[in-house]
Amino acid sequence: MFILFFLLWVIFNGKMTLEIALFGLVLAAVMVFFCCKFLGYRLKMEFLLFVMAGPFLQYLGVLFIEILKANWCVIKYIFNSRDELDPVLVHFDVPLKSKFARVVLANSITLTPGTITANLDREGYTVHCLDRELGVGIDQSVFVKLLMNMEAKADRILGSTMDGSSDAPDKTGAEGQKN
């Protein structure tokens, strides 16, 4: 965030001098302090972005390769002389804790040709597959493994899930009062 604020300051000024750079550094620090104090921003989140950049790029690479493989599979279905496809709805759940990871998985499934995430709720996923063999092993796909690794890394850094919610049990009693 600090670097972003500083770069915006330099871009908006249009030139770089020592005075502009020093003032920009001070202003960026003040803005980061303001965001931490009043907007709930945490410096751990910035650290998490740097740490998660590698696994995120790996995830994007795997997603791209899986999209290419699924495209090839759908092309084979199109040009195959087989008369009928066997479309199927597959229901499954995965042990992903954060809403962010669950939505990323749902979107990754939808981006992969031949599959569409029809429903995502607390009970799990419902995925429409163009053919039965496309749904085999979908609950243990490489996407799930990568997202679980990313969640575990985020848990170690933040002490909470990737979307910022804590996994600590709620300390309220049956009546909703603090113990």
The alpha carbon of residue 83 and the mean position of all alpha carbons in its chain are separated, in whole angstroms, by 38
Structure tokens given for 33: 């302090």
pLDDT at 173: 43
Residue 104 confidence (pLDDT): 93
Rounded Cα–Cα distance for residues 109 and 143 (Å): 9
Low-confidence ranges of the chain (pLDDT < 50): 166-179
Residue burial 87-117, b: 16+ Cβ < 10 Å; e: rest: eeebeeebebbbebbbebbbebbeebbbbeb
What pLDDT sits at residue 171?
Answer: 42
The pLDDT tens digits for 29-50 are: 999 888 888 887 777 777 777 7
User: Among residues of the chain, what percentage have pLDDT more than 70?
Assistant: 87
